[in-house]
Chain A
Amino acid sequence: MPDIRVDASSAVPIFRQIVDGLRSLIAAGVYRPGELIPSVRQQAVTLLVNPNTVARAYEALEREGLVESRKGVGMVVATGSQPAAVRGAEEAVTAALAEAIAQARTAGMTPERIDALYRRAITGSGGSNESKSGRGANHD
């Protein structure tokens, strides 16, 4: 089963982590439109999280229009969801960046300095797009 990483000690709610994780899997084309995503039960057992949390994450994804429930089958990835997923993933990243920038501002950094830090970070990570963990926000 494609990997979503859940970090229980993070302050980011687990359901948010699952939403972000699935969204990026859809954005990356791991799950294609029309394909089933794992059932709530499978997902809960695999990720070792509360089934209610998974169900809630799936509801959120459904509201975003990324997945739709099919009677008697389960949850499938909605047609045309990939661009939406990419958009959603971008939004999540934008939010994370905004938070980082706000943090930098409160520490009194100039936009130039922030830009330099951002560039260093992006080269440091090798420019890869392994955004598996799909974190929405930072925490201390």
Chain B
Amino acid sequence: MNWVLVQKDLRLLRLAMLAAVGIALTFYVVVASITFVSWQKGQIREESRINRIYHREIQHDSSDNSRRLALFVADNCTPVSILYVVLIAAVGAMAFARERRDRSAEFLAMLPVSIRRQSAIKLVVSVAVSVLPLAVNAMVFLIASLWFARAYWGAMPVYGYLQVQAGPFGWRAVAVIVSVGLVAWIALRWLGWPWRLIVAATVLAALLTVDVVGVAWWTGSQSAGVWFNPRDWRPAAITAVFAYVGVVSSIFGLAWLLSSATRSSVLSAVFGLGLPLFAMTAVNETTRRADEASILRATGIAGVAVGALCVAAGCVVQSKRPTP
């Protein structure tokens, strides 16, 4: 009985799992091929263009291709991580809303199994589906970093910079997510098949344009981040992990909660993503001058707490609701 529920939930998250693999493969393959080509030409460039908005940038001074390759791979784990945040929001958002929308929740509710057990299994499956690609990505990152470190040992750069989403970029991310999501919601809700595609394509194109223009516009702007010493990378790494786990947990939790309360997974994902990002950007904006590492750690802990609370609340909402 538990196993068929697990299978069912895995089937519901099939698209998310495919997307996770797709995202990872795209980035790894693209990075690998760019790197390979550049390596052949003997000119690995200073910075990866793919992740110029959100990137982990280590100032360094070297012409050793092997080190740069490692840095590249490690660097490109960052956009994968960023996209996984969106993915995890989607996984959380699909928890209940979709089954409620297409009424299969009622089908499920007529089976002799408690809502509590259904939710627990769903939570386990969703967390597994979310954590697995993160773990793989972290693994790749770790290996690449170790490779880099080994190659670079003895000639470590003087400083590093860990960038977080804040400043104009943070605000823009929130705005983009919310607007894309709302348009997607409208498209899914009110439009037929070919129109959905057209609307989605138009919106994506528009956003891409806005984004490119925006990047050019904001080039000079500051974004929050943490300077760190690569020779003593542990505090920075811990801070980064805290921040990331906090972001991911709060987003997953909020999407899960919204999913139990609304019938729209798109809206759940949008606000699940948008609200925590908004909150974090606001915190970062208002505390620019404070000790950013400790702020990041605090927001990380708060994010995990909020996420756990939201998941619990979502399960309660789901089990107490008079209608499935």
Quick check: do A and B touch in the complex, using CB within 8 A? no
